[in-house]
Amino acid sequence: MGAEMRLRPAVAEDMPAIHQIYTHHVLNGLASFEEVPPDQAEIARRWQAIEAAGLPYAVAELAGRAGIAGYAYAGPYRPRSAYRFTVEDSIYLAPDATGRGVGRALLGHLIAEATALGKRQMIAVIGDSANAASIGLHRALGFRTTGTFHAIGFKFGRWVDSVLMQRALGPGAETAPKI
């Protein structure tokens, strides 16, 4: 990642831009299965929950572009305690920031940060089995497809799949985690 792109932790002042990016994806895409965009206060609450859990939540800035180009976070995969070493990634890019390496940089950052925190698995739940860009990005960074939930969501008047992908972090399942 050169001087053209900078990754940094999200801060409260980023919430309006994060809200705008997420709203775009809710209203125009299948990356999120939400159909009504949450308000900015809810976006801030979700960010605070990730922060309180000590998990990474990052934004990307591109030189010459006002505002953030995208954001990503690693959230708890499930609330039950046995899942505490597994995280789920989420990545959202501004519409004009695709194809510039932003997603790859953000996902690579999440992988490194989650590994440093002692997490052992990262899960991707990708909306729409036709989302070749997200599936390809995850595959390029070491994820493997573990399954597909067929016709699990109904959005934009059609049934939509979810593709499940998984990547080991650090030693993965080769050793027991430090408890």
Can you give the pLDDT at residue 117?
Answer: 97
Structure tokens at 40: 């900015």
pTM, entire model = 0.95
> 3-class secondary structure for 80-102?
CHHHCCEEEEEEEECHHHCCCCH
Q: Does residue 39 lie within any of the structural domains?
A: yes
CA distances from 26 to 19, 20, 22, 76, 92 (A): 10, 10, 6, 21, 10
CB 71 within 8 A of CB 46: no
Residue 141, domain extent: 5-168
CB-CB contact of 115 with 169 (8 Å):
yes
Q: Residue 54 domain-assigned?
A: yes
Please tell me the total count of domains within the chain: 1
Average pLDDT per block of 10 residues along the chain, 179 residues long: 84 98 97 97 98 98 94 97 98 96 98 98 96 97 98 97 98 93
At residue 178, the pLDDT reads: 85
Classify residue 159: in a domain, yes or no.
yes
